[in-house]
């Protein structure tokens, strides 16, 4: 006995770039679904409104579609997805204006045009964000790269300042006070390298690679480099003075504890002895370093006055000679202001790290 050919109930919805059709047939067998000449052809054995039968229908679409329909069988229905050739909103599904009796809107998936546009924009934005994340790398990868970069920077600085510290210490034990007067010629090149590289710390703070405040970092960088490049570097008369030894020795002593502490922080290690030293040695050394720098500036004032270096005369009609020593006197004030800024910042760090000891009330 031949099966009667019947039409199933079909429900449809759309988005800007595709069409969705839901065919109400259960237990479907041998579905034949194709698109030829912009017409969807469906034929399948299944259980529908008229019982177990062969059901079929044909739909000529309103506009052009791609001839590769995708379908998925479930126990209760057949879901068909058809791609539009152009991403646009259709006013209806079929070319004929009168809707076929077996066709109805799928209200489970139905959206009006404005809602569909919002959904489309949300999907596009999600894809863009995904591509952006892929191009930038995952947060874990970026964190690992940042830690590796900071570890290598701190390692290089630690090795540089350690070389300076060991070199000066050995020379002092061998030569005694005589080593004071040729310190600059012995370690200046390495000190130049380390202090130029220290500019990276201020850049890291400025762009957010590290959480260090920019102002204290910049005060220390500019202060040290002014002493190194201007006071010592430009005046040969200053390079043979004993104060150079004390300035360089105090700088390197501070850094041989600071940089390894940061290195271990990059790999999430906390060595308690090193941590205590990092947050304690600066208490005597920073004021001593500031005092040594102030002495070097004071000793350089008569040298700059005698040579006239960096001094200038204001143009006519003023014609006043401005000595560089005037700026050095201003710098002395800024030097102690910088000491206050750094001391205050480091004190807060130490208090945050170790906490305040609370007195017991009896």
Cα-Cα-Cα-Cα dihedral sign, residues 306, 309, 315, 320 = negative
Q: For 292-332, write each residue's pLDDT tens digit.
A: 999 999 999 999 999 988 888 888 787 788 899 999 999 99
Identify the CA nearest to 57 among candidates 13, 24, 17, 19.
Answer: 24
Residue pair 304/328 in contact (Cβ under 8 Å)? The answer is yes
Q: For 73-103, write each residue's pLDDT tens digit.
A: 988 999 999 999 998 889 999 999 898 999 9
Q: Distance between CA atoms of 8 and 24, rounded to whole angstroms?
A: 6
Which range (121-125, 210-214, 264-268) has the least confidence? Answer: 121-125
Q: Which two tokens stand for residue 115?
A: 């809602």
Q: Is 71 a catalytic residue?
A: no
Return phi, psi of residue 14, to 5°. Answer: -145, 160
Record the pTM.
0.60
Task: Choose, from 140, 286, 316, 340, the residue flagged as catalytic.
Answer: 286
129-143, 190-204, 274-288, range with greatest mean pLDDT: 190-204
Q: Is 192 a catalytic residue?
A: no
Task: Compute the chain's Rg from CA coordinates.
Answer: 40
Q: How far is CA 56 from CA 43, 60, 62, 101, 181, in A?
A: 4, 14, 20, 14, 103
Task: Choose, from 119, 293, 345, 347, the residue flagged as catalytic.
Answer: 293
Average pLDDT, integer, range 182-205? 94
Give the pairing type, strands 103-105 and 10-14: parallel
pLDDT the model gives residue 225: 95
Average pLDDT, integer, range 13-29? 91
Q: Distance between CA atoms of 49 and 76, rounded to whole angstroms?
A: 12
Where do the domains of the chain lie, and which CATH numbers do they carry?
A: 10-112 (2.60.40.790), 139-354 (no CATH)
pLDDT the model gives residue 30: 78
């Amino acid at each position: 006995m031949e099966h009667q050919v019947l039409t199933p109930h079909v429900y449809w919805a759309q988005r800007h770039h595709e069409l969705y059709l839901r065919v109400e047939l259960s237990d479907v067998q041998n579905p034949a679904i194709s698109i030829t000449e912009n017409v969807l052809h469906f034929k399948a054995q299944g259980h529908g409104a008229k019982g177990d039968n062969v059901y079929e229908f044909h739909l000529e679409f309103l506009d052009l579609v791609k001839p590769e329909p995708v379908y998925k069988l479930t126990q209760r229905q057949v879901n068909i997805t058809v791609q539009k050739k152009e991403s646009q909103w259709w006013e209806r599904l079929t070319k004929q204006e009168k809707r076929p009796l077996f066709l109805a809107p799928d209200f489970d998936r139905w959206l009006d045009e404005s809602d569909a546009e919002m959904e489309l924009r949300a999907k596009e934005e999600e894809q863009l964000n995904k591509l952006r994340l892929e191009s930038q790398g995952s947060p874990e990868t970026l964190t690992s790269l940042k830690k590796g970069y900071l570890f290598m920077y701190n390692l290089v600085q630690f090795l540089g300042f350690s070389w300076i510290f060991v070199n000066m210490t050995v020379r002092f034990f061998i030569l005694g006070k005589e080593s004071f007067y040729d310190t600059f010629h012995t370690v200046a090149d390495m000190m130049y390298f380390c202090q130029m590289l220290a500019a990276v710390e201020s850049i890291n703070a400025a762009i957010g690679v590290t959480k260090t405040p920019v102002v204290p970092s910049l005060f220390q960088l500019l202060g040290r480099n002014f002493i190194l490049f201007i006071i010592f570097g430009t005046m040969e008369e200053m390079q043979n003075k004993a104060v150079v030894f004390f300035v360089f020795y105090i700088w390197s002593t501070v850094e041989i504890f600071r940089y390894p502490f940061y290195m271990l922080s990059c790999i999430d290690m906390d060595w308690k002895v090193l941590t205590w030293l990092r947050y304690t040695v600066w208490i005597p050394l920073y004021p001593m370093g500031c005092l040594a720098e102030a002495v070097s500036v004071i000793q350089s004032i008569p040298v700059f006055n005698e040579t006239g270096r960096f001094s200038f005369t204001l143009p006519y009609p003023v014609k006043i000679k401005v000595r560089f020593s005037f700026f050095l006197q201003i710098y002395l004030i800024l030097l102690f202001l910088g000491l206050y800024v750094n001391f205050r910042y480091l004190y807060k760090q130490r208090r945050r790290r170790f906490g305040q000891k609370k007195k017991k009330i009896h």
